[in-house]
Structures are given as structure tokens and as C-alpha cells.
Amino acid sequence: MTRLLGQAVVSTRSLGSVELCTLDDGRDVVVKRGDVAAEAAGLRWLAEPGAVAVPEVLDADGTVLVTTTVPRGSASRPAAEAFGRSLAALHAAGAPAFGAPPPGGPTGAWIGEAPMRNVPHDGPWLDWYLADRVQPYLRTAVDRGALSASAASRIEGAALRPGPEEPPARLHGDLWSGNVLWSDDRAWVIDPAAHGGHRETDLAMLALFGCPHLETVLAAYDEAAPLADGWRDRVGLHQLFPLLVHATLFGGGYGDAALRAVT
């Protein structure tokens, strides 16, 4: 019989890409298999400031990640306000550089099923963002037919206005609504693609596919850590990366959406 954490597994239930396992000491744990080294390092890094709620890493060996379960409830306005404030505190905990991986995390990471490179960059945020986030996926999207060469050229030639320079923030990195789970009193984040980046990127990702009480989250964030003027005008710039990732993975209209985001 399979054993985890020194205990026998008495039942297993599939939850999509993970398994919910009940151990013979009565605990329920979440098990994820595959290349999980970056995710394990990311969960530990996000937990370090004690700001945003994340599952605890119980064990990780590079191919199996075992975490605690997340209590489930429903999104509420108070929980959304608390999430906005805690996300601001997480970002303020900072990172050594743009592109920096979590401590102990590998250079080769993942965002969903797409590879993602985490290498520290000592230049301005936009230079790193274009070189390590936009360009690799732009080329792949064209190669896979999800984006025309002319559309890619228009994205490359777009007038991108990144706003004032800010220090590297500690990002979740894949903060779409599916990676935000709600208990009755707080939000939990799972499945990070953590790295050092611009804090507006996490906020733009929250908005990409919708998030419960989004405006409440954003208002609480802005009150705790005021955003630079014009941040709403830059949402498309920060959504360009996840849209290109989706274009490379799923095709469809994501390539066109990436073009619309910055033109």
C-alpha cells in the first residue's frame, strides 16, 4: 500500500491534477506528482512573510509534493478585503531581482503546462519582462500558429508604457481566479509560479478571468499599498504574458487577445 509521511494511504480521490489522500492517522493531504520542485519552493517562499494564506508543504522530493488541504467556503467581502491587504504585504516582502526564483528553486519552472525561465535580471523591469516573459512565448505562439507573424510584429512594435520603476515584488506569478480558493474568512492561493516581478502583474492576472469581489480586493490593496498613477491603463501590458502562454497552450482566440491587450 502507498505510504506518505510515514503513514499508509487508506483512500485516494482525484481532484483533477492532484489527489486528495486520506492517511491512516486521519489526516487528509493533497498530493501532486511531476516536476514539482519549483512549486514547492514557491509555496515556501510565499508562506515566509506570513501574509497570504498558502497550503503548508509537508513533503517534497522533486517528483511528489504533499501539502495540507485548504478549508473551503465561499467568497465574501470581508475575505476579499483581507486578501487585498495580505497580497500587498506579500508583494512588499520583495525579491532579490526581477526574474529571481524562490530560494532553492530551480531556474526551469512552470506556469501551468508551459515552461518558464527564472533567472535574476539587474536591469529595468520592462527589459526583463520583454526578454524572459514576452519574447519566448511570442515566438512559440507564432510557431504553433496561434499568432500570425504580422500580429507578433505589431506586439513587438507597440508603445509599451510601464509606469514608474518599482522594486521587485514577491509574486505568486499565476494568480488567476482558479488559483484562489476561498474559505469563509480568507482567501488561499495555490499552484504558484513564484518569482520576482512587478506587483501589478499579479493584480492584472486576477482580473484576466474574473475574481470574486475583485474591486474590493483592489481597493483594499490600493489602500494598504497605493498603486502608481495610471495602473489601470497598464493592465493589458501585464496581461500580455499570461495571454501569450494561453496562446501557446490552447490557441483559439488568445493570440488575438494578446494583440488587443497592448494595441
Closest CA to 105 of 52, 59, 45: 45
Q: Which residues pair with 114 in a beta bridge?
A: 111
DSSP 50-71: S-SB---EEEE-SSEEEEE---
Who's near 150: CB < 8 A, 6+ residues apart?
Answer: none
Per DSSP, 130 falls in state I
User: Is 185 a catalytic site residue?
Assistant: no
Helices (H), the chain: 37-47, 77-92, 125-128, 135-143, 149-156, 199-208, 214-224, 235-250, 254-262
- Other CB atoms within 10 Å distance of the CB of residue 205: 24
Q: From the CB of residue 197, how many other CB atoms can be counted at a distance below 10 Å?
A: 29
Query: 91, 199 in Cβ contact below 8 A?
Result: yes
Handedness of CA 204, 206, 212, 215 (dihedral sign): negative
Q: Determine the Cα–Cα distance for residues 66 and 39; give it in Å rounded to an integer.
A: 11
Which is the catalytic residue, given 132, 174, 191, 202? 174
What single DSSP character describes residue 190?
A: -
Q: Which residues are catalytic?
A: 174
